[in-house]
Amino acid sequence: MSQNGTITSYLDENRRFLPSKEFLATAGHTQSEFKHLQKLASGDPLAFWDQMARELQWQHPWTQTLQGEAPFVRWFEGGKINASQSCLDRHAHSWRKNKAAIIWEGEEGEVVTLTYGQLHKEVSEFAALLRSEGVGVGDRVAIYLPLIPQCAVAMLACARIGAIHTVIFAGFSSDSVRDRVHDSQCKMIITADGGRRKGKIIQLKKIVDDALSDIKEECVKTVLVYSHLKIDMAMKAGRDWLVSEKLAQLKNGDQSAASLDASHPLFILYTSGTTGKPKGIIHSTAGYLTQVSATAKWVFDFKDEDIFWCTADVGWITGHSYLVYGPLANGATVFMYEGAPLYPAPDRFWSMIEKHKVTILYTAPTAIRTFMQSGDEHIKKHDLSSLRLLGSVGEPINPKAWMWYHSVVGQDRCPIVDTWWQTETGGIMISPVPTMTATTPGSATYPFPGIDIDIFTQDGKTCEMNDGGYLVVKSPWPGMAQGIWGDNERFLDTYWSKYPSVYYTGDGARRDEHGNFWLMGRVDDVVNVSGHRLGTMEIESALVSHEVVAEAAVVAIDDEITGQALVAFVTLKNDATRDSSLHELLRNHVAQQIGAFAKPKAVRIVEALPKTRSGKIMRRLLRELAQSGQVHGDTTTLEDIGVLQRLKELDQEEA
């Protein structure tokens, strides 16, 4: 059932690792505290979430923990809250005022530290600026920024006034920016002159200009620009403003934290699905914040001395939940790095861990495999003794990479938390708790307390032990998505129609004799390349939008570093001339349509695609062919067996 088939190789994995004595001796929380919570959650999940929610700062308490029927439920109904107060005000008004909230390092090695006091001040001022620009409760604001502290400032400022932010990863192309801004009808875009990547400058403001140049309706009234790199840029009169100048003009602005309903939307984040159009996942304020705050506290075992580095970009859900909202709600110090992992040298990560004394590292398997390949010597020359806990997220981590992470990076002392969750779940759903859980390489272990997860057969029964099935969530959880922006039908259809009142994750999984969950990859046309979620349909639509392309079929194959990689099979229009530069041209076309990270690994130009008699492209055959050069599966439904023969011949020619 899995697209990448990796699970078969983990079936015999039975190594078990208990938290080391060293870890337990200095852990932030005790086993008995957690056992108490587990007990509470298993007896009364709502009472458990109530207790978690009480750790936030509320303006007015809620009257009902959970209201309504899945999927349209409301958590903490009646409560009034503002996410920026839980993340900032209460810390800024405590002894944490001078504690670092964000330590940022740029690619060129520059370092900026913002204390809770400073971050609170910056966010409050920026909130006042947003208000003075006419942004109000419920308005959508796009944020298209490199990974700099201003990203967190902009997000929290939106939260402060009740505007709904939609962060667009700075690797997305102008077309993708335009689609997202248009879909959510943003009133404003917050961007920067540029960002850095591998020593090069990416001119973000220019990309925004391109995106806005052909937007049909004029929804965007204002573009606020941070001068991050101090490079020249064009400014459109009446629309574009420098943040620094606007702030200097602002007097006596309203910096207050709006009083918002618990289920007021905090943000929209676009993610890929099985159609060509990305979906704007909506998250609530209180439910989302409760889940990310509680999971951050228990899964990352936060204590006040920690320096927590989540390597994700803020443009993805991991950056929202564990670089901004989760850690800041806990008053933790986060480390943020704008730049490429191996730049300017393969030891960049390890030198920063040593320099900033990072204690917890949360990264993706694709990064782990890249480091593994670049050689242990880059790690061994640095003192990583500050590290006490390691995390993994985004895709299944293969046992070999897990063991390497454990022994080389963690020096056998740091527990690993392999955390399973999704953009739609808001926060972590399945993960070890480092003080408690015996971990097995490759398994995300057990559901977090209060999370009701199961594995279903096709007809909705719980799977037998070790049988693969569909991963589902049977009861509402606080961080659950509230919908897809502007498309309730798609929301119901994608997640809530396969099984009544049960959330369908789109992942395959099995459970072993210890109750450990083993994730088996996506069961739909969503693939995971370097921890980035991509829909094969999206890439196909990008390809067919090129004038020479007639048809395209995109499949995923296993890749040692990126987990999965994309191979595109393309047929050309009759009059198109085929030359050797066409492959590269089409790869670049995808980069231009979506973003460079979505480029297929290979483009194959073929005469015809294998189809069933009813005209459906048989992607399964293409996948087999791309993966192994062979087709073993059933080909009886294939309309023209000759097509397959010609594809195989082409494959041999290319090899």
Q: Quick one: 135 or 310, whose CB is closer to ligand WT7? A: 310
Residue in 209, 240, 507, 540 binding ligand WT7, rule: CB under 6 A: 507
Q: How far is the CB of 478 from ligand WT7 (least distance, A)?
A: 16
Interaction between residue 419 and ligand WT7 (CB under 6 A): yes
Residue in 330, 528, 530, 536 binding ligand WT7, rule: CB under 6 A: 528
Residue in 209, 418, 540, 624 binding ligand WT7, rule: CB under 6 A: 418
Q: What is the largest distance, in Å, between two alpha-carbon atoms of the chain?
A: 75
Residue in 114, 188, 260, 317 binding ligand WT7, rule: CB under 6 A: 317
Q: How far is the CB of 5 from ligand WT7 (least distance, A)?
A: 14
Q: Quick one: 292 or 567, whose CB is closer to ligand WT7? A: 292
Interaction between residue 440 and ligand WT7 (CB under 6 A): no
The span of 8-16, 186-194, 212-220, 392-400 binding ligand WT7 (CB under 6 A) equals: 392-400
Interaction between residue 395 and ligand WT7 (CB under 6 A): yes
**363, 434, 370, 433: which is closest to 393 by C-alpha?**
363
For residue 590, what is the enclosing H or E element? helix 582-593
CA distance 397 to 418: 8
Q: How far is the CB of 77 from ligand WT7 (least distance, A)?
A: 27
Q: How far is the CB of 428 from ligand WT7 (least distance, A)?
A: 8
**φ, ψ at 595 (rounded to 5°):** 160, 155
The span of 115-123, 458-466, 505-513, 621-629 binding ligand WT7 (CB under 6 A) equals: 505-513
DSSP state of 379: H
Under rule CB under 6 A, how many of the chain's residues touch ligand WT7? 21
Residues contacting 122, CB < 8 A, separation 6+: 114, 153
644, two tokens = 């397959």
Determine whether 199 is exposed, middle or buried from the number of CB atoms within 10 Å of its CB (0-12, 13-18, 19+).
exposed
- Among left, alpha and beta (phi > 0; psi -120 to 50; other), residue 134 is left
Distances (CA, A) of 305 to 328, 359, 387: 14, 9, 12
Q: How far is the CB of 275 from ligand WT7 (least distance, A)?
A: 16
Which residue type, as a one-letter code, is found at position 233?
Answer: M
611, two tokens = 């189809």
Query: Any idea which residue has 């099985």 for tokens?
Result: 274
Interaction between residue 369 and ligand WT7 (CB under 6 A): no
CA distance 183 to 200: 31
Interaction between residue 393 and ligand WT7 (CB under 6 A): yes
Interaction between residue 313 and ligand WT7 (CB under 6 A): no
* Side-by-side strand order, sheet with 416-419: 111-115, 100-105, 333-337, 307-310, 360-363, 389-393, 416-419
Q: How far is the CB of 322 from ligand WT7 (least distance, A)?
A: 9
DSSP strand pairing (416-419 vs 517-522) = unpaired
**258, 264, 294: which is closest to 53 by C-alpha?**
294
Interaction between residue 519 and ligand WT7 (CB under 6 A): yes
User: Of all residues in the chain, what percent are helix, strand and coil, respectively (each to 5)?
Assistant: 35, 25, 40
Footprint on residues 226-285 left by ligand WT7 (CB under 6 A) = 271
Interaction between residue 522 and ligand WT7 (CB under 6 A): yes
Interaction between residue 286 and ligand WT7 (CB under 6 A): no
Q: Say how many residues make up the chain.
A: 655
Cβ(432)–Cβ(418) below 8 Å: yes
Distances (CA, A) of 224 to 150, 234, 249, 339: 12, 13, 14, 23
Interaction between residue 444 and ligand WT7 (CB under 6 A): yes
The radius of gyration of the chain's CA atoms, rounded to the nearest angstrom, is: 24
Cβ(79)–Cβ(252) below 8 Å: no
Interaction between residue 338 and ligand WT7 (CB under 6 A): no
Q: Quick one: 119 or 519, whose CB is closer to ligand WT7? A: 519
Q: Quick one: 160 or 623, whose CB is closer to ligand WT7? A: 623
Interaction between residue 533 and ligand WT7 (CB under 6 A): yes
The span of 295-303, 421-429, 460-468, 553-561 binding ligand WT7 (CB under 6 A) equals: 421-429
Interaction between residue 423 and ligand WT7 (CB under 6 A): yes
The span of 162-170, 239-247, 253-261, 504-512 binding ligand WT7 (CB under 6 A) equals: 504-512
CA angle 332, 135, 218 (to 5 degrees): 125
x-marked contacts with ligand WT7 along 205-224 as a string, rule CB under 6 A: --------------------
Which residue type, as a one-letter code, is found at position 608?
Answer: A
Interaction between residue 124 and ligand WT7 (CB under 6 A): no
Q: Quick one: 81 or 519, whose CB is closer to ligand WT7? A: 519
Interaction between residue 295 and ligand WT7 (CB under 6 A): no
In this structure, the number of other CB atoms found within 10 A of the CB of residue 57 comes to 18
x-marked contacts with ligand WT7 along 167-206 as a string, rule CB under 6 A: ----------------------------------------
Interaction between residue 166 and ligand WT7 (CB under 6 A): no
Interaction between residue 396 and ligand WT7 (CB under 6 A): yes
Interaction between residue 511 and ligand WT7 (CB under 6 A): no
CA distance 547 to 540: 13
Measured distance between the N- and C-terminal CA atoms of the chain, rounded to whole angstroms: 28
CA angle 121, 310, 471 (to 5 degrees): 120
Q: Quick one: 86 or 366, whose CB is closer to ligand WT7? A: 366
The span of 158-166, 301-309, 354-362, 390-398 binding ligand WT7 (CB under 6 A) equals: 390-398
Q: Quick one: 419 or 439, whose CB is closer to ligand WT7? A: 419
x-marked contacts with ligand WT7 along 576-615 as a string, rule CB under 6 A: ----------------------------------------
Q: How far is the CB of 420 from ligand WT7 (least distance, A)?
A: 4
Helix axes 174-183, 204-213, angle to 10 degrees: 60
DSSP state of 94: S
Q: How far is the CB of 269 from ligand WT7 (least distance, A)?
A: 9
DSSP strand pairing (333-337 vs 503-511) = unpaired
Interaction between residue 362 and ligand WT7 (CB under 6 A): no
Residues that bind ligand WT7 (CB under 6 A): 271, 317-318, 393-396, 418-423, 444, 505-507, 519, 522, 528, 533
